[in-house]
Amino acid sequence: MKHINENSKIKAVIFDLDHTLFDRYETIKLVCEDMITEKSHWFVDGTSLEELQQVLVDADAKHIIGGWKPVFAYWREQGIMKLDSDGNTLAKSEEVFDFIWNYGFLKHAVKYPFTNPMLDELRAAGIRTGLITNASGEKGIKRQMAKLTLLDMTDRLDNILITGQVGIHKPERGVFDIMARRLDLSPQNMLYVGDHPRNDVFASRRANYTPVWVRIREAVGEVCECEYSVKDVSEIPALVDKING
């Protein structure tokens, strides 16, 4: 990547986290290995690892934007959850998701192999880097920071904004405005890169960033019209070069 001088158009690239900088689906599959070993009594007898992985990945892809309740409802609809005599799941949603986070996501975080080299390449070329990711409450903030530590990203980002720290969440414009002020840049000089059409692409465009859509959600039928799109973030340095001419 060529060195980009101070007057170039794009001076910073800001990223989403899940599905953008790390492989959430492969992480979920590793969490399933722990779950089928430690908590098999939650599931219908004979539930295989492969079946559990498929259900959990599908649930996350289709319903996580609505929160954990619709995800858990989808699990039950798929018939993998063991029920008591009153028809209630033996496992309560709160304990399941505590397990996923505390035993799973704080233990596993699967890197895309190209992410950290890409961040290093941008910064070597004089492009600043940042992160905006949603999380609520003290637990959510700690979990996201733990994830970034596992991924060895904290020192590769010039600024990290976890939305629970400021009480504003994507797709609200305010989080993007805060990031621009933190980096002392105009949004017109910034890319925002993420996988979600509403939270990432449309929201950052409203804040006058140039959005870049990571096409991971095509697999679940979501297609987004965007000025720029990439298969994965390994393409970002070349895209910055292209935009800056």
The domain segmentation of the chain, as residue ranges, is 12-22+111-244, 25-105
Cβ neighbours of residue 5 under 8 Å, at least 6 residues apart?
Answer: 126
Q: Hey, what are 5's tokens?
A: 């001088």
Residue 151 near residue 160 (C-beta atoms within 8 A): no
Q: Output the CA angle 78-79-84, nearest 5 degrees.
A: 140
Residue 123 near residue 13 (C-beta atoms within 8 A): no
Letter for the amino acid at 90? L
Say which CATH superfamily domain 12-22+111-244 falls into: HAD superfamily/HAD-like (3.40.50.1000)
How far apart, in whole angstroms, are the C-alpha atoms of residue 110 and residue 33? 14
Each of the 245 residues of the chain gets a pLDDT tens digit; together they read: 655 555 559 999 999 999 999 999 999 999 999 999 999 999 999 999 999 999 999 998 888 877 888 999 999 999 999 999 999 999 998 899 888 887 777 788 888 999 999 999 999 999 999 999 999 888 889 889 988 999 999 999 999 999 999 999 999 999 999 999 999 999 999 999 999 999 999 999 999 999 999 998 886 777 888 999 999 999 999 999 999 98
Q: What is the DSSP secondary structure assignment for residue 171, as one 8-state letter?
A: T
Cβ neighbours of residue 242 under 8 Å, at least 6 residues apart?
Answer: none
How far apart, in whole angstroms, are the C-alpha atoms of residue 5 and residue 38? 53
